[in-house]
């Protein structure tokens, strides 16, 4: 080991090259010891973990030195009444925020007592939007017209790169001489970014060759990936899913210590008017909290919480109570690929019954999306209830240590 450490010190061996000379487990250990010596930092806790290294160090994380461990709690049981998820589930939540799991758990209890959350997927499509340069405005229009007239040709090229992905939509728009082609794919059980990027590269080549458009960037930010954007709020990205529950008056009083009218007013003035006044793209209480905790537990890309937080929570008056719903227009989530194969994350997906590819393809990812939406609904209900009853500060004093 000392020989490798000395070579790293001299610069004749690069940190990223250790796996080419050592087994992954030994490479991670040598790299960690080198960083400890260079920085004077004890990384023994970072170096103590249970996930198998072979996959993580070669497929998920470059220059790996260990793992940061996040506590995982469960909320539930949560009864879900969806087209793909139909049953009772315990929700894994990876978080360091005291009170979050307890809050979601209270919402799960209310939903389950009320008979279960109704949930449906309205749209399913991962996007990538290359940007092209046109010579002038007439040429920009020609490019858009050609794309509209040759969808089948573009689809054939894109789908030739994957055995699973299917092109389901094309939208074009321009900004001066910049032409954006937003390609949407059904990525089945994968979240799909790698799949659609490779497919979009092939499609972009066909468009360039046929129109003379100059490809500037394979991602032109009209996708839009990992950034708050109105296009995702309006058109959707990943899974567009909504969940709702009717809460009777007596349950609201017993569980949330408030009443239907107060619950509705808090949602109106906070989630809707307050968010509008702030210029927010999300109209919800804390949807990102639940999505982030599930994403980390289940091997999703945490950066996609940005899109997932573009949620809208509504509270509709109903006879004898209220109907509360959440709509997630842009939920990029998958059950294969990325971090889903890491052992601990795979276990959390298994806990939900969605690990790996589904039969038929896509069914696991859609089931996962339905469960996430219902968990978000639980979180929204609990926070709205705490605010309506003026219990928020007390809960954080007790649990948010």
Catalytic residues: 97, 301, 396
DSSP, collapsed to helix, strand or coil, labels residue 326 as strand
- Report which of 111, 91, 76, 107 is spatially closest to residue 386, judged by C-alpha positions: 107
Bridge-based pairing state of the strands 117-128 and 178-186: antiparallel
The H or E element spanning position 32 is helix 24-39
Strands 131-133 and 214-217, how do they pair?
Answer: antiparallel
Residue 397 CB burial class (10 angstroms; 0-12, 13-18, ≥19)? exposed
Strands 131-133 vs 312-318: parallel, antiparallel or unpaired:
unpaired
Write out the two tokens for 19. Answer: 């796996």
Beta bridge partners of 179: 132, 174
Kindly give, in sequence order, each residue whose CB lies less than 8 Å from that of residue 148, ignoring residues fewer than 6 positions away: 170, 172
Q: Output the CA–CA distances (angstroms, integers) from residue 23 to 1, 12, 53, 62, in the order listed.
A: 12, 19, 10, 14
């Amino acid at each position: 080991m000392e020989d490798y450490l000395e070579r790293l010190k001299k610069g004749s061996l690069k940190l990223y090259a250790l796996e080419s000379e050592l087994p992954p487990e030994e490479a991670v250990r040598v790299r960690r010891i080198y960083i400890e010596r260079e920085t004077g930092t004890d990384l023994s806790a970072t170096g103590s973990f249970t996930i198998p290294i072979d996959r993580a160090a070669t497929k998920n994380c470059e220059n790996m030195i260990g793992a940061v461990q996040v506590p995982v709690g469960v909320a539930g049981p949560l009864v879900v009444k969806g087209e793909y998820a139909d049953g009772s589930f315990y929700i894994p939540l990876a978080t360091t925020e005291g009170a979050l799991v307890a809050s979601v758990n209270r919402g799960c209890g209310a939903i389950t007592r009320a008979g279960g959350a109704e949930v449906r997927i309205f749209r399913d499509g991962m996007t990538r939007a290359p940007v092209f340069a046109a010579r002038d405005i007439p040429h920009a229009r020609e490019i858009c017209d050609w794309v509209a007239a040759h969808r089948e040709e573009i689809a054939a090229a894109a789908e030739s790169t994957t055995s699973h992905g299917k092109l389901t939509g094309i939208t074009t728009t321009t900004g001066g001489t910049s032409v954006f082609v937003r390609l949407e794919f059904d990525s089945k059980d994968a979240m799909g970014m790698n799949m659609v990027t490779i497919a979009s590269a092939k499609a972009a080549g066909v468009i360039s060759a046929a129109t003379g458009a100059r490809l500037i960037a394979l991602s032109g930010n009209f996708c839009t990936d990992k950034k708050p954007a109105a296009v995702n709020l309006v058109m959707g990205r990943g899974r567009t899913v909504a969940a709702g529950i009717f809460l009777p008056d007596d349950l609201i009083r017993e569980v949330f210590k408030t009443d239907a009218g107060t619950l509705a007013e808090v949602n109106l003035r906070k989630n809707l008017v307050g968010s509008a006044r702030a210029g927010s793209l999300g109209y919800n209480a804390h949807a990102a909290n639940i999505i982030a905790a599930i994403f980390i537990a289940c091997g999703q890309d945490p950066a996609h919480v940005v899109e997932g937080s573009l949620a809208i929570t509504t509270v509709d008056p109903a006879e004898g109570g209220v109907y509360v719903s959440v709509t997630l227009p842009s939920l990029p989530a998958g059950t294969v690929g990325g971090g889903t194969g890491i052992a601990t994350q795979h276990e959390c997906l298994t806990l939900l019954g969605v690990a790996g590819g589904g039969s038929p393809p896509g069914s696991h990812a859609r089931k996962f999306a339905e469960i996430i939406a219902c968990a978000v609904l639980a979180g929204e209900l609990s926070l709205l209830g705490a605010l309506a009853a003026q219990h928020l500060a007390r809960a954080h004093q007790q649990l948010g240590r």
